[in-house]
Chains A and B, each alone.
Chain A
Amino acid sequence: NAGVTQTPKFRVLKTGQSMTLLCAQDMNHEYMYWYRQDPGMGLRLIHYSVGEGTTAKGEVPDGYNVSRLKKQNFLLGLESAAPSQTSVYFCASSYGFGYEQYFGPGTRLTVT
């Protein structure tokens, strides 16, 4: 099993550009999550999904959109990137609420 994979690994955007980060998991997990990690801030939840076709806002959802069209994929979109969105983005999945989360390797995004 590959576990949780993320693409791309690195990306540089100019302010105002858009992009989509892709997360895929092969563990048949119902729950999937997108976090951002900034120095000294720990991990902060952006959006999450409790199953195919569902999404919900986390702690810091502004400026991001998500979609879960297939159970194994969770996409994070930035419609108009801002320098404040420079961060490392982690995707995770879990069997259900309150279970261990499995994390992907991260995507390092820089917005100039």
Chain B
Amino acid sequence: GESVGLHLPTLSVQEGDNSIINCAYSNSASDYFIWYKQESGKGPQFIIDIRSNMDKRQGQRVTVLLNKTVKHLSLQIAATQPGDSAVYFCADPRGGADGLTFGKGTHLIIQP
């Protein structure tokens, strides 16, 4: 079965607001996670990653939080812009015997 899963298939936010996209995982041994962004008509692209020895990691306008107690991670996007409109996937690169396991994705919709 799926080892990572996103909570909402669609998230709609106002331009300029902060966005929070959530993801749950089931494997307690998972120690590394990646967030990917997939714009319409393109392949997924790496945004940010986090290892299990960290609770938080920040990038440019993005922050990933990891809660190992409840096996949950979130992607926070500050001051959401139209260019942030995409499908966001969390992934466990070591989730399966063959490697990367993806969640189904959350479609972030930006309202003007």
Known: A33-B99, A56-B98, A94-B99. A104 touches B93 (CB 8 A): no
Q: In whole angstroms, what is the CA distance A5 to B41 when docked?
A: 14
List 15 A-B residue pairs with CB atoms under 8 Å apart, sorted by A's residue number.
A4-B43, A31-B99, A40-B9, A42-B89, A45-B99, A48-B98, A94-B99, A94-B100, A97-B99, A100-B46, A101-B44, A101-B93, A102-B46, A103-B44, A105-B41
Q: A-contacting residues of B (Cβ < 8 Å)?
A: 9, 32, 34, 41-46, 49, 89, 93-94, 96, 98-100, 102-105
- Residues on A with C-beta less than 8 A from B43 are 4, 90, 92, 103-106
CB distance from A96 to the nearest CB of B (A): 9
Digitize A73-111: 1 where CB-to-B-CB distance is under 8 Å, 0 elsewhere: 000000000000000001010100111111111100000
Q: Flag if A42 contacts B103 (CB, 8 Å).
A: yes
B42: contacting residue among A42, A99, A106, CB under 8 A: A106
Residues of chain A whose beta carbon lies under 8 Å from any beta carbon of chain B = 4, 31, 33, 40-43, 45, 48, 56, 58, 90, 92, 94, 97-106
Interface of B is mostly: strand
Q: Are B89 and A43 in contact (CB under 8 A)?
A: yes
CA A102 – CA B32 in complex, angstroms? 16
Most buried by A among B34, B44, B89: B44
Report chain A residues within 8 Å CB of B105: 42
B63 to chain A, nearest CB (A): 18
